[in-house]
Amino acid sequence: MGSNIGKRKSNLNAAYNLIQDDVGAITEASAMYRTEAWGPVAQMAFYNQVVRINTPLSRRNLLKKVLYIEEKMGRIKDNRWGPRIIDIDILYYHDKIINQRHLTLPHPQIPNRKFALVPLCEIAPDFRHPALGMTNDQLLKICTDQMAVRRLGAKP
């Protein structure tokens, strides 16, 4: 999850609670991290967090719920890498490899984004990327992303 508009920490907390209520039990959560924004648009830094969820939802229904939570929180999708009140990505869905029009899993940018890998390694360092065969920890060690990722505090 990420947020760089308004009260970023509160936005992540609200998304956390909505996921817990509407998607499934959060079984583990990383600390929050401050990271510079990706993309061509000048904008505030993001606060990011990764959560592990135990959900009964299919991957398609999970995506629908995540998109609904983003909409409910006021996300407007008008600029691909622009500022956003909340951005919720599905990074993995078990060890499934999915290539569909609206859903690609694992998330194709995991190996390239330190802001995802650092919190992922906090909660699942040994989880093996099903397409690449490497653990999250191994992916982080070879990640070429130079953006700073700064831990904001303890895990919730």
Euclidean distance between CA atoms 83 and 151, whole angstroms: 21
As for how many domains the chain has, the answer is 1
Please check the confidence at residue 114 and state whether its pLDDT lies above 70.
yes
- Residue 52: inside a domain, yes or no? yes
Domain of 58 in residue numbering reads as 2-151
pTM greater than 0.85: yes
Residue 125 in any domain: the answer is yes
CB-based burial label for 20 (10 Å; 0-12, 13-18, 19+): middle
pLDDT tens for residues 115-155?
Answer: 999 999 999 999 999 999 999 999 999 999 999 999 997 76
d(CA 49, CA 38): 16
Domain contains 38: yes
Q: Which residues are catalytic?
A: 75, 84, 87, 89
Q: Is residue 22 part of a domain?
A: yes
Decide if 77 is inside a domain. Answer: yes
Angle between helices 59-72 and 8-22 (to 10 degrees): 140
Tell me how far CA of residue 134 lies from CA of 3, 111, 126, in angstroms.
28, 10, 9
What is the per-residue pLDDT across 45-74, written as a single tens digit (0 to 9) for each?
A: 999 999 999 999 999 999 999 999 999 999
How many residues are listed for the chain in this entry?
156
pLDDT mean across residues, the chain? 94
CA–CA separation, 105 vs 107, rounded Å? Answer: 5
In a domain, 122, yes or no: yes
Question: How far apart are alpha carbons 24 and 16 in whole angstroms?
Answer: 10
The residues near 30 (Cβ < 8 Å, ≥ 6 apart) are 49, 50, 51, 119, 120, 122, 123, 155
What CATH code is carried by the domain that includes residue 59?
3.30.70.560
- Does residue 8 belong to any structural domain of this protein? yes
Q: Is residue 156 part of a domain?
A: no
